[in-house]
Each structure stands twice: as C-alpha cells, then as structure tokens.
Structure 1
Amino acid sequence: MNLDEVVKSVKQADEAAVKQALRRWDQVAKPLNSLGVLEEDIVRIAGASGTAAIDISKKAIVVMCADNGIVEEGVTQTGQEVTAIVAGNMAKGCSCVCIMAGKAGADVIPIDVGIAGHDPIPGVLPRKIKEGTQNFLKAPSMSRGQALRAMEVGIRLAYELKEKGYGLAGSGEMGIGNTTTSSAVLSVLLDQEPEAVTGRGAGLTTDGYSRKIQVIKDGIALHRPDRSDPVDVLAKVGGFDLAALAGFYIGCGMVRLPVVLDGLITGAAALAAVGICPSVRDFLLASHVSAEPAGEMVLDALGLRPAIRAGMCLGEGTGAAALFPLLDMAAAVYTQMSSFEEIQVGQYEHLV
C-alpha cells in the first residue's frame, strides 16, 4: 500500500451534505444551536460520511496495543507486562472501555501492533510489527519502514470497518509508556518544550515526572525528528500504537468513515495524521479534553471542539465510548423530531 496514493485519495468533507445537515438542524423544532457541540458533531458526521442521512447505529472502538522500549528509563509506575494483560482483558470484554462500550452499544476491537512477548493473545487481532519499540534514548523507536507498516495496519483496518458496515468509529490505545512517546511526538509537532506537554501519566512521583521530561528532552536532542515530516517523528520518538492510529485516521478519511478521538495519545496520533494528510481533519471528532497538560493544546491545533469536559485521562478509547450515547441522542433528535413546519410554528431565524 502506497501512503502517497492513499493520502491523495482522501477528499475533504462533502459540502453538500454539510449544508443539508445544517439546514435540517435549522428546521428541527427547537431553539437554534441549542444542542451545542453535539449539533456540530452531527454535521461533521454528515460531511465525513458524504450524506445528511445520518446512520451511526453500528459503531466500533479500535484499540491499538503496543509496548514501548522507553519504559526501561523508569518513566512509568507499572511494568511492560501490563500492556498484554489489559489487551487480554479487552478481548474478554472486561476492561474499562469494554464495559463502557457495552452500555453504548459499540464493539471493541483490540489490535496487537507491537505488544512485547511471543504468544498471540486470544481475541486480540494479531498485526504485530515487532515486539515493542526500541528505547529512544538508545536508538530510534523504530525504522521508517516499520512506522509505515504500522500505519498500513491502521489504514487497512479502516477499510475493513467500512466494508463491515460500521457508520462511526472510535479510537483508543493501550501501551505502558505511551504518554511518554505521545508527549515526545507532541513536543515536536506543536513546537513546545516537553514541560508544556508532559503530564504524570498513570501517576508518577515528582522525581519520576522530572525524569520523564528529561528523557523526552534527551531523546529529541539525540534524534532531531523533523517536524515537517510526521512519519519521521513517529519513527524516532513515537510508538507502534501511535503510528497505527495515524494510519487509521488517514484510512478513515480514505473510506469516508467519521472517527472519534479519545484523549492525549489519540490526539497526538491525529496531529501526525493531519500533518501527513490535512484533509483528515474533516473526519475527526473530539470526545473530551484530556486532563493531561497538552489536552487542550492538541484539540486547538486540530481545530476540534470537545463535547465532554470531565477530567478524564484513562485512555483505551473510553472517551469515544462516553461520547457515543450523546451522539446517538443527538442523531435521534436530528432524524426524528418534528420540524417547525410540521407543528405549524414559525421557524427561528439566525440573527447574527
């Protein structure tokens, strides 16, 4: 699969569908714009899918799972073995995102793109590029070729979801150490010092947090990733999960499948995807603002407005799972509610 060809195939939002969706919201018998961001999201879904006839009844959350060599540097509170354990729990339907997605009527699809260890995990899609990345204080996280292969996994998965009739995707990740890799990627792509974009992740002491920042600084100084080339950034200081997610977002653009982001890590991958293919922005929806320091910064850079502000920072795609029921409610109002004409009431007018 040629990335340049895929990128060229991604078109912008369907303006006709956007206009039709906006017109439909104006006709719905309620005050204009009174569902706020949820109305905007339905319009984005229309533009992304290419039709104002919204159908998001079939939903899935894709969770890219991978390990990160940088955990050798003491940047996490837990060991690398946790990645495989949580991925296995996802396959059994008992992880946090699975429980939430179950209430939201969505499928959860965990994918192994780089979990450390040889044995396949039952119920986890085997798409392993390598058993974890390298420690980016010693060598680039991965080769450029490996980054492109991980992206291809994501692109193909988007195609498969579309073929299976999914109308809306969510995205998540699982990988101990990936708040470090995502903060490193964001430091480069946002042109910010590591201190501005790095949080404590799943919980670090002050000394551990300082170490995490220094590790990111040293890794960037060592490899000098090229901000103008997001694939280079992903390869040098990123992770297989981030690269696969970036590919997934590009793939969603290719097949016109709207996709909901989770928090900081999916946001970092989305920023890389948009850097590679700017039109991808039209296919993204923000679920919430991550409690991580760069949460707001990432969404501003992507030009996205979140519907949820709840201080969440769990990951796994839980933000997408939380947004899905709200989108279902908004879609129900959009498709089912009477128009002003039907109830014989004068329609509100836009005064500004």
Structure 2
Amino acid sequence: MQLMKDTLKAIGGLDQKAMDAAKARVDKLVKPPGSLGRIEDIAIQLAGITGDVFTSVDNKAVIVMAADHGVYSEGVAPNPQAITAIQTMNMVKGVTGVCAFAKQAGAKVVVVDIGVMEDINLAGIRNNKIRYGTSNMRKGPAMTREEAIKSIEIGIEVANEEIDKGANCLAIGEMGISNTTASSAIIAVIGNFKPQEVVGVGAGLPIHQLGYKAEVIRDAINHNLPNSKDAIDVLAKVGGFEIGGMAGVILAAAAKRKPVVIDGFISYASAFIAAMLEPKAKDFMIVSHMTAEKGGAKALEYLGKKPLLDLGLRLGEGSGAVLAFNILEAATYMVKEMVTLEESGIVLG
C-alpha cells in the first residue's frame, strides 16, 4: 500500500516551461508551422513529460502483464484458457505479435506472470503471480482489495526496475483470455456506460453471443456493486490482475516522468484505473491506436485522449503500443535533426 501511496504522491504536472520552449523551437523549424501535425504535438508533450526539449526515447520497453480470469467459466471467450500460458511462454521466445513489432522498433519485451492459471518455469518470465487467476466475478469479487493493490504495486515495481536500468519510454501490454470482459466491466462502471455499449468480440466471440457477454458483465456489476468513485474497489470487484499491473506501470512512468504508451482496449481499462487514482497521470499517457473493440471510442472520449493510429487492431499484447514507438521517436528526431529557418538561412518576408 505504501508503494502505491508514494508513487501517487510523486506524480506532478507537465513542465509548462519546457513545453513552451519546445513549441517555440518546433514553430521555427524549417517547415510551415503545424505542417507536421500530431508529430509536433507529441514533441511538445514529450518535453512537458521529461522537462527536456531534446527528449530521447531510444531505450524503449513494453511491459506485458499476463493473467487469467475466473469469469472464463461463464463461456465469454471462444478460445481455450490454456492459450494465456502458451502465449506468455511464446513471448519470451520472441514469436508473438508484440515481439515481432518490438524487434522492428528496437524495444525490449518484459513479460510478467501476475496471475496465469499454470505454473510457468521458463527463463525470461518474471514470476509475480498473485494467485492462479481471478475469481469468477459473476459470482463474487474478482479479487480482494489487498490483491488489487498488490497488482498495482507489482506494476510499479517492474516499471521502476526498467526505468532504473535506463528505459526512457514504456508501453503496456497484456495477455489473458477473457480480459475484454473484465475491461468492459471496468469501463462500464467508471464511465457510467451500459455493458452493451462497450462490450465487444474480444479474441473472436461470435457476434450473436455479445448479448450474453453483456449479460454476464451486468450480472457481475449488479452482484458486486463496485463503487464507481473508488478505483481500487472497481478493480477488485470486476477487474483482472494484469489490468491492475498495467495501471501500476502507468503510475510509475508518470511518477518518474517518463512517457507511457497505451495499447488497446484492455489498456484503456488500466488507464481508467490509473487516471482515477491520480488524474495527472493522464498527461503522461500517449494512446497508440484506436482499438477495433466496440467500446474503444467511448473509452477514449471519457479519458480525453486521441489515438495516433487507426489500423483496425485488436490483438492486444502491447502490439499497437509498440508500433507507436516509431512515431514518438520520429518526433524526437524532428526536434533534434531539423534546423530552424534562421539556421537554414531562409528569410521570410
């Protein structure tokens, strides 16, 4: 509990002086003002996050949290639950979607077992297992309040370790069959949405079963009555260990003044938790892409964030976040490598 409290206390606002200086430089670069669009906005945000106009994001890491969900037993996912463990192991072998994109982006993939149903004894996977999956939230709380806090603190610990090793840009990712169900529940409760407004197909649930999935979420909310003003209560009652872990990564990055790239729908739910715990954490988030999941647009509107990409992605794992690493790095190169009009010798009338 103390680690979370200390982390929340350490989160400040963006450095306005650095942002003003970055904007002044960007506006003077050898290009029409505003002609590089969102790239310019990112450069200014990065300056505000780090306090440095000439920010570097050349040591990138995506932290992937893996966990299972008790609500799987309600038939809300089309695939075997064993896939969580299999794909978690595949990540350290470097053969999943996020790994392929991470290789291209020059990013490190950090894999954390925070609650997978099976024991995974494989070098390269951090064992921070809280227990073997959450409980079935349709029948009771997914976890205890203490476990919810622990999941967040595990995320903080892992992120702090990576930052201490030199990481200057983080991203979040996950692996967990049925985690779109838990994410939809979190977003519905905090955003005051009806479950049917935000529930999606996840990893391939047939469209005709969406009504049933929404019913399961509605039952879980009605049974547990999570307090929409208490992020920990929401996480404990209808969340997942990996969702809490990713929220912890967001909070740690904000406290350490590092940019954190948000992936898709599951990470939106983590952003909801982190932002409720400390609203200033939103300033340190960069949303990589618009998820293809049904509730994505509503979730991002609630967060007040705009995605960088819209490619129809819904894989998860952190795959979309890692794709956005390239855009962030391009923004830093723009500031460092482009000359100003004055430096180029161009004189405008």
TM-score interval for Structure 1 and Structure 2 normalised by the shorter chain: over 0.9
User: How do 1:320-331 and structure 2 match up within 5 A?
Assistant: 320-331=321-332
Aligned residue identity for 1:320? A
Are positions 1:238 and 2:242 aligned together? no
CA contact (8 A) 1:67 1:176 kept: yes
CA contact (8 A) 2:56 2:329 kept: no
Aligned residue identity for 1:60? A
Offset at residue 312 of structure 1 (A): 0.9
Aligned residue identity for 2:123? P
Look up the match of 1:300.
301
Are positions 1:31 and 2:32 aligned together? yes
Look up the match of 1:85.
86
Q: CA 1:192 to 1:233, structure 2 compared with 1: closer, same or farther past 3 Å?
A: same
Structure 1, gaps ≥5 residues long: none
Please identify runs of 4+ aligned residues in structure 1 that moved more than 4 A.
none
Look up the match of 1:124.
125
> Pairwise CA RMSD of aligned residues?
1.3
Offset at residue 249 of structure 1 (A): 0.8
Look up the match of 1:147.
148
Which sits farther off after the overlay, 77-86 or 298-307? 298-307
Aligned residues: 348
**Cα deviation per residue 1:301-335 (whole Å; 9 max; x = unaligned)?**
22222111111111000111111122222221221
Which sits farther off after the overlay, 168-177 or 324-333? 324-333
**Cα deviation per residue 1:16-57 (whole Å; 9 max; x = unaligned)?**
111111112112111212222222122212111221121111
CA contact (8 A) 1:74 1:208 kept: no
Q: Distance in 2 between matches of 1:196 and 1:214?
A: 12
User: How do 1:74-223 and structure 2 match up within 5 A?
Assistant: 74-223=75-224
Q: CA 1:157 to 1:50, structure 2 compared with 1: closer, same or farther past 3 Å?
A: farther
Q: TM-score, normalised by structure 2?
A: 0.97
**Cα deviation per residue 1:239-269 (whole Å; 9 max; x = unaligned)?**
0001111111111111111100001110110
Offset at residue 137 of structure 1 (A): 1.2
Aligned residue identity for 1:47? G
Q: Distance in 2 between matches of 1:81 and 1:11?
A: 41
Q: TM-score, normalised by structure 1?
A: 0.96
For the residue of structure 2 that corresponds to 1:305, the secondary structure is coil
Q: Distance in 2 between matches of 1:48 and 1:120?
A: 37
Q: Distance in 1 between matches of 2:348 and 2:113?
A: 52
Look up the match of 2:314.
313
